[in-house]
Structure 1
Amino acid sequence: MPTFRFFTAAVVSAFTFVAVQGEQHTVALVNNCGHGTPLLKANGQTLSTGGSVTISGPLVAAIAFLQTGGCGDNGEGCTLVETTLQNPTSPGSGSSTDISLISPHSFSVTSGFGYFDECDGAGADCTSADCGTAFHQSTDTGIQVACQSNDVSLAITFCD
């Protein structure tokens, strides 16, 4: 019986360690515009209205934009940052982020993003309606910025 208790305790400890060390991503929203409210949304839920939020597990198909009063609920009419932050399970399956100006989205404010904690320096900025670092049509797939590291975090900046 003592062996079983020791084994059970060891298994519980191992699961606790794995849970504490689980996948985690932080998204920091920075508004340098002096107006508007930065929004981070996923699955129809608002995750942040400014500052930083840490997500336990993957963050899939999230969007961010600066609500200046003229944006729709999903950033329609505004510059949109789209992101999926997830630990890669196979080559090419990690995080990916981009800026979208595909209609119904359009340029509203200078927007940019950059990874941190991993893939430092990888990111993009869009400073005008014709910026070459944003999706203008769905075939602009080379615009996506990938990060194939675990627990990557992302800073999204408006009016930098």
Structure 2
Amino acid sequence: MFTVNKILGTAAIASAFFLLARAESHTVVFANNCGFGTPTLIQGPNVLSTGGAFTSNGPLDGAIAYLQTGGCGFNGEGCTLVELTLTNGFSSVDISLIPPHAFSVTSGFGYFDGCDGAGADCTNPNCPTAFFQPGDNNVQVGCPAANVNLAITFCD
């Protein structure tokens, strides 16, 4: 015979499995084809990766990535910047050349495991796929897929 505690315990276990199955996760990977520099992924004051794959167990909000060539500031100043927010429901990624950021190396990104083929490349200082002013929102590349991942490429 079931007791209230057994029923609640069973419900709690079922809820835990349901939540685990729906857990949010996003991975950022890098391809550095330049032959120099260090891919860098930062969120706030934290360095999340210096070239290895990084997996966020939950949303990855307000992160930035760039190729540290020795001339970049901690927040990518002086370099081509990839800005990213990966979150279930709507992710958004863009390339920024808004000063103090400036073109340093060819940089690009593409979603995978959802919104495959969506992305952008910046191959020169005048690339049309980059922010040059804060209002250039038309260059943001969005993705509504859950648990979408991102590949960032330098010099390709």
Query: Corresponding residue for 1:18?
Result: 19
Equivalent of 2:116 in 93, 117, 120 = 120
Does residue 27 of the first structure (1) align with residue 23 of the second (2)? no
SS in 1 for 2:53: strand
Matched, 1:138 2:134: yes
Alignment-derived partner of residue 57 in structure 1: 58
Question: Counterpart in 2 of 1:82?
Answer: 83
| Counterpart in the other structure of 1:102 | 98
Task: Structure 2 unaligned segments of length 5 or more: list them.
Answer: none
8 Å CA contact retained: 1:30, 1:51: no
Taking structure 2 as the reference length, the TM-score comes to 0.95
The CA deviation string for residues 58-98 of structure 1, in whole angstroms up to 9 with x for no partner, is: 0000000000000000000000000000011xxxxx10000
CA distance, structure 1, for counterparts of residue 29 and residue 42 of structure 2: 13
Instruction: State whether structure 2 residue 145 is matched by structure 1 residue 149.
Output: yes
Q: Share of identical aligned residues, percent?
A: 60
Instruction: State which drifts further: 21-30 or 71-80.
Output: 21-30
Count of residues paired in the alignment: 155
After TM superposition, where is structure 1 displaced by more than 2 Å over at least 4 residues in a row?
1-4
Query: Structure 1 regions of 5+ residues with no counterpart?
Result: 89-93
- Pairwise CA RMSD: 1.3
In structure 2, what residue type is equivalent to 1:129?
P
